[in-house]
Amino acid sequence: MNQAAESERHGPSTQSIRDLVLGMADGLTVPFALAAGVTGAVAASGLVVTAGLAEIVAGAISMGLGGYLAARTDVAHYAKEYAREIRETHEVPSEERAEVAQILHGYGVREPVLTRVVNEITGDREQWVEFMMRNELGLERPDERAAPRSAALVGGGYVLGGIFPLAPYVFIPNAQQALLWSIVFTTFALLVFGAVRARVLATPVFMGALQTWFIGALAAGAAYGLARLIGHAM
């Protein structure tokens, strides 16, 4: 299987996993911190649910829009650099051929093979520019259809993550009691999510799970303590 086919097969799925991970990372921590913070100031779970749902909707839209704009920015950046490379192959072809030779030399290609390979690559302008994009600039052609998918996955991941900390407040009227279950649910979700995220990023699973849990707990604890402090001051 050639490199282009491998990239086509694995690239979109990898990006999709990253988008989902990005959305869930914030979806687990931000609504949890908000729910804990509001619990520090109110006793009724209904108020926490209302605030939490509003935050999840706003956060999902914001994160989804961010994912969409990031994907569109990648496409625009690639198109701009591609156009520049096309122009340079017309205006300064000798310099561009020299750059191809320099790149190949770095891979260990030597004369007399080097000249033949350079001529082969530069004999097709599209192939020439693609080579420069990948090997000089380190850019892969982005999927122009990825922006809506990225927005849906990031926003959907945020909503999915936000369900865990908010769910206990739906079923338990007392906010303080619901908070205890929210901590249990979110702790479990953060540990599992952290482990999965570590697997995706090829980092130690145990440390990844603990790191994700610690960040979520720190954010929630700070929000809860601040809300309690403000509540006592008023």
Q: What is the mean pLDDT of residues 125-142?
A: 83
Render pLDDT for 24-47 as a digit per residue (tens, 0 to 9): 777 877 888 788 778 777 777 888
Q: Is the pLDDT of residue 203 over 70?
A: yes
Higher local confidence (pLDDT), 225 or 141? 141
SS3 string of the chain?
A: CCHHHHHHHHHHHHHHHHHHHHHHHHHHHHHHHHHHHHHCCCCEHHHHHHHHHHHHHHHHHHHHHHHHHHHHHHHHHHHHHHHHHHHHHHHCHHHHHHHHHHHHHHCCCCCCHHHHHHHHHHCCHHHHHHHHHHHCCCCCCCCCCHHHHHHHHHHHHHHHHHHHHHHHHHHCCEHHHHHHHHHHHHHHHHHHHHHHHHHHCCCCHHHHHHHHHHHHHHHHHHHHHHHHHHHHHC
**pLDDT band at 5; cut points 50, 70, 90:** very low
Sequence ranges of the domains in the chain: 3-233
Q: Is the pLDDT of residue 227 over 60?
A: yes
**pLDDT band at 232; cut points 50, 70, 90:** low
Q: Is the pLDDT of residue 10 over 50?
A: no
